[in-house]
Amino acid sequence: EIGVYQGRKLQKDDVIAFRAPKTDLKNLGVRHISPEFVPRAEYKLRVVLGPQDDAFTEKGLFDFKSALYTVTQDSNRMAAKLSGAPIEAKAGVDILSDGIVEGSVQISANGQPIVMLTDHQSTGGYAKIATVIPCDIPTLAQVRPGQLVGFRVVTVEEGTAACKKEKDKWAYLKEKIDHD
């Protein structure tokens, strides 16, 4: 009897019972939706410039920092492909393949950003203008095709502090929920 319903696949007119919803949740006071998860018109992702940001013109860097990009239908667990103002390079974006990390922002040959996500490849041959800080990756992963994202440059120290704050917040919530 291995299967979804009584050892078989679901069929028309099957009824699946659900238990009654809980009327009381522990630690309700600390359970809330963080502002970064509330749907909004646009999302700003914090990035650290580099390692190949010097491959782009001043206009290209300005556009990257100020333009909004639309998440395309081609996005998946490997990468969020974006569409918007092309990012201008000094002499093309092709480089010798080198390492890619989660959050790397490659600029494709057509000038469009591609942000590497959880199932990204290990190397890539496009210049990487920046890297999204780790604690902003979950936000990007939840942005739907058609929604807008932009980038805000931060220092390594600011990115590290933001991610530490996020880690501490989740540890506090876990402790509160586990304690009661």
92-138 per-position pLDDT tens digit? 999 999 999 999 999 999 999 999 999 999 999 999 999 999 999 99
Nearest 5°: the CA angle 135, 121, 127 is: 80
Taking every pair of C-alpha atoms in the chain, what is the biggest distance, in angstroms?
Answer: 65
* Sign of the dihedral defined by the CA atoms of residues 124, 134, 55, 149, in that order: positive
CA distance 164 to 133: 11
CA dihedral 154, 158, 162, 168 (to 10 degrees): 170
Vertex 141: Cα angle to 164 and 46 (nearest 5): 45
Amino acid code (one letter) for 153: V
Q: Under DSSP, is residue 150 helix (H, G, I), strand (E, B) or coil? A: strand
pTM of the model: 0.77
The 10s digit of each residue's pLDDT in 17-54 is 777 777 776 766 666 666 655 667 789 999 999 999 99
Q: What's the chain's average pLDDT? A: 89
- Relative to beta strand 104-107, strand 128-132 is antiparallel
In the chain the first and final C-alpha atoms are separated, in Å, by 37
pLDDT reading at 159 higher than 90: yes
